[in-house]
Structure 1
């Protein structure tokens, strides 16, 4: 089953074509990660699938419905998105920010409810932001601020969550913490997770479905063990590497050596990732 699907999708910025007649399917209940070099179009594709960027032509289908036919609130009940580098008004507290995630469920008949309160508190606890709930967002460190935004996304309670570089500004420990959280949401609640990540090794570790983008087109898509090859890394990132097996997770581990520094090849024995 697919959560999101594009059909003959064409995206433009002004007169510049970003994608032409693109067909892509995002599997339901899985973690999909977009990878690719800077400027390849992965964030643009994510924004378009979330209806933040209007396509020139083509169709995007969300849970079986043409996304263009759905109201903004209906889309927000089915899909939440955390864009890259979001900003909050000065003086807004973490609690106030996270409460914004419940906006799609509010109307003149239904005001703030116990369910809303429960979802907000749970999102704060999951992201370990409950003790910072009364602090202003602009007083937080970059990593804390990112976790606050992720909490708002979780409070929205949607079956599909889309995130553009969610580990930005986070140190390694908090990167793993955030990705573990998203993995748990996928495993325990079958939420569909779609992310843009720069770290290929973390993408291999957490993704069920890796989408490699090159020159504003899909270069390859599938399981990391099948998709991630030395040729792909060279073609997509213009980077020489050797791929070995992660000793803990048995996923592909990219060992880069670039162009300037040559490794002692004899000490790096190739490992076939099965």
Structure 2
């Protein structure tokens, strides 16, 4: 039986600095999980480790009960894909060449480019609205267009698990919603497990089935947004005073921050 992605006593460090300590975490299968927390709390570090981009100091990361550190790279790449922060493409690489890189795990000496590979690439370009830019060089695109090109490459990899570090970076509000709606549809229609780092807590509440709040090198709280996103949680995780109300459209928690400047104006009035 599939056991999904989990950590066992995971400790992550950069040099002498411990970022995550003895973490036991299970990622809900077939759900959208969002990692939230203040800058530098370890969200991106944890996501990178889940993709085997960062070696644990101690502990292990398991996929279906097997340590990912012991799995062949190509086999692991057929099961999970990651979009890191601010990826860079070689100069002159076109969008379609970049997206085709997502099919690399499926290529062997005996099995070269196939009709299925082509279909996956074209689908990824279409759903990210990059088809018309397929033959443009990646370095000639706007920040938002580049981000969508990288997301297309990740989707072309066609994995059951998607790990995305701030996938809405550089996108305007319209394209942020389009990308998050796309990921939501992938989860709803195909049951893909999605783990994201998002900075916008309100968008996290709107799209996540499961929120994981990171603080002090471990998980401060995790669960459904409506269960864990409270004024106390926001204060202790983000050092921010706020009011939590209900989103009038989606019924999810809506965080209204108490801006210091605005508070001063109110107190003086």
Q: Counterpart of 2:107?
A: 106
Q: Counterpart of 1:48?
A: 49
- Checking the alignment, whether the CA contact within 8 Å between 1:225 and 1:252 is kept in structure 2 is yes
Write the deviation string for residues 104-154 of structure 1: whole angstroms up to 9, x where unpaired: 000111100000000000000010101110000001000000000000000
3-state DSSP of counterpart to 2:9: strand
* Distance in 2 of aligned mates of 1:41 and 1:12: 10
Task: Tell me whether 1:90 sits opposite 2:91 in the alignment.
Answer: yes
* Distance in 2 of aligned mates of 1:94 and 1:78: 23
Tell me by how many angstroms 1:2 deviates: 4.6
Report the TM-score when normalising by structure 2.
0.96
Identify unmatched segments of 5+ residues in structure 2. Answer: none
* Distance in 2 of aligned mates of 1:161 and 1:83: 11
Tell me by how many angstroms 1:258 deviates: 3.2
Tell me by how many angstroms 1:264 deviates: 6.6
- Checking the alignment, whether the CA contact within 8 Å between 1:2 and 1:27 is kept in structure 2 is no
Write the deviation string for residues 169-207 of structure 1: whole angstroms up to 9, x where unpaired: 000000000000000000000000000000000000000
Note closer, same or farther for the CA distance 1:246–1:2 as it changes in structure 2 (3 Å cut).
farther
* Distance in 1 of aligned mates of 2:58 and 2:88: 30
* Distance in 2 of aligned mates of 1:227 and 1:81: 26
Write the deviation string for residues 67-106 of structure 1: whole angstroms up to 9, x where unpaired: 1110111110000000000000111000000000000000
Identify unmatched segments of 5+ residues in structure 1. Answer: 266-274
Cα RMSD, aligned residues only: 1.3
* Distance in 2 of aligned mates of 1:32 and 1:171: 22
Write the deviation string for residues 37-62 of structure 1: whole angstroms up to 9, x where unpaired: 10000000000011000001111111
* Distance in 2 of aligned mates of 1:108 and 1:239: 55
1:213-252 mapped onto 2 (5 Å cutoff)? 213-252=214-253
1:1-274 mapped onto 2 (5 Å cutoff)? 2-262=3-263
3-state DSSP of counterpart to 1:27: coil
- Checking the alignment, whether the CA contact within 8 Å between 1:165 and 1:197 is kept in structure 2 is yes
Q: What count of residue pairs does the alignment treat as equivalent?
A: 265
After TM superposition, the runs of 4+ consecutive aligned structure 1 residues lying more than 3 A away are none
3-state DSSP of counterpart to 2:262: coil
3-state DSSP of counterpart to 1:168: coil
